[in-house]
Amino acid sequence: MPSNGESSQFDAINDVAQQYYDSEDAFNFYKQVWGGSFIHVGLYDDPQVTDSMDPMERIKLASELSAKRLFATAEPLDSSSKVMDMGSAYGGNARLCAKTYGCTVTCIDISCKENEVNRSTTAAEGLADKVLIPGERSFFETGEPAGAYDAVVSQDSLLHAGSERCRAIEEAARVLKPGGCLVFTDIMQSNDANTAELDAVYRRIHLEDMGSPASYQAWAERCGLKLVGFEDRTSNLAAHYGAVKGVLEAKRAELTNISPAYVDNMIRGLDAWVNAAGKSNLCWGYFLFRKQ
């Protein structure tokens, strides 16, 4: 069990994430600009994603293809598989997994609003028996039993665990069965990043640093998770944030329920992501670890 000091640290990290994603500005931004169901980096290097597409549909397709790649990395999955989605947001990934493989998926997310949308959308799609939403829970204490899951997945969410990313990896390892897999993507700083050039990115996500491929591997190995592979798809970062910025700027006049200050700050933040990715300071791709 975490000490009182550790619990306070976890609570502070959870509060930052919850307050941001439950804010009206963030909620409306992700719904109206990012596409809602899938709020993670997309695969723009897939030939199905073309420049001639409607910009918002392009983001949605790239993001859905990224989710499909996540679960393909976690295969084999079937109707007997139990999957945990850490950072499930609006439940797009969980519903995709349930529909594709027949899995039961438990959604772990700290945002009340995101869980509400997930719950209503999941019910409307007739998946309430497959996609389970137990309420607001954190990466650090999911409340799930040890050794219960065949796979833990996460897409671009672990960075929000801040200085306690290692604890999120520990929790994933704890709930996995022997032989189970942890598959995730995360927006990371590269192993040899110039951290001085990442200051604008750190401010954008309210963090002092980010994980890296090397740090995630070290944390996972300490928890009995063996690296099977890392598929580097960093080239999609700049494309994704550039695409989101383009839609945000084009739709700005329509976004009456998002404050101008939020839009301005988001545009600056997206520029920071694009610039950092262009300088090889950021990294993104698909990790696959297996529990020994």
pLDDT-derived band at 19 (thresholds 50, 70, 90) equals low
Give the CATH number for residue 80: 3.40.50.150
Query: Looking at this protein, which amino acid is placed at residue 208?
Result: E
Pairing of strands 149-155, 282-283: unpaired
* Segment 122-142, tens digit of pLDDT: 999 999 999 999 999 999 999
Span 31-40, average pLDDT:
80
Residues 160 and 111 sit within 8 Å (Cβ to Cβ):
no
Task: Say what the pLDDT of residue 33 is.
Answer: 84
pLDDT over 80 at 2, yes or no: no
37 band by pLDDT with thresholds 50, 70 and 90: confident
Number of domains observed in the structure of the chain: 1
State the pLDDT at residue 150: 98
pLDDT tens readout for residues 258-278? 999 999 999 998 999 999 998
pLDDT at residue 164 tops 50? yes
Mean pLDDT of 161-190: 96
What's the mean pLDDT in 203-212?
86
Give the chain as a 3 state SS string. CCCHHHHHHHHHHHHHHHHHHCCHHHHHHHHHHHCCCCCCCCCCCCCCCCCCCCHHHHHHHHHHHHHHHHHHHHCCCCCCCEEEEECCCCCHHHHHHHHHHCCEEEEEECCHHHHHHHHHHHHHCCCCCCEECCCECCCCCCCCCCCCEEEEEEECCHHHHHHHHHHHHHHHHHHEEEEEEEEEECCEECCCCCHHHHHHHHHHCCCCCCCCHHHHHHHHHHCCEEEEEEEECCHHHHHHHHHHHHHHHHHHHHCCCCCHHHHHHHHHHHHHHHHHHHCCCEECEEEEEEEC
Non-local CB neighbours of 113 within 8 Å, separated by 6+ positions: 21, 22, 27
Q: What is the mean pLDDT of residues 4-19?
A: 54
- Identify the pLDDT of residue 76: 95
The pLDDT, as a whole number, for residue 23 is 83
- C-alpha distance across the termini of the chain, in Å: 23
Q: How far is CA 238 from CA 1, 63, 96, 233, in A?
A: 40, 14, 25, 11
pLDDT for 28: 86
| Single-letter amino acid, residue 184 | F
Q: Residue 21 — pLDDT band, cuts 50, 70, 90?
A: low
Question: Rounded to two decimals, what is the model's pTM?
Answer: 0.90
Give CA torsion, residues 107, 187, 69, 292, to 10 deg.
-70
Mean pLDDT of the chain: 91
Retrieve residue 171's tokens. Answer: 């929790």
pLDDT attached to residue 1? 45
| pLDDT digit string, tens, across residues 59-68 | 999 999 999 9
Structure tokens at 249: 């700027």
CB-neighbour burial class of residue 260 (10 A; exposed 0-12, middle 13-18, buried 19+): exposed
Range of the domain at 220: 4-291
Distance set, CA 236 to CA 43, 149, 187, 220 (Å): 6, 30, 11, 25
Which strand ranges, in their side-by-side order, compose the sheet holding 149-155? 131-132, 104-108, 82-86, 149-155, 176-185, 285-291, 225-232
The pLDDT confidence band at residue 160, using thresholds 50, 70 and 90, is confident
Rounded average pLDDT over 164-185: 97
pLDDT given for residue 39 in this prediction: 87
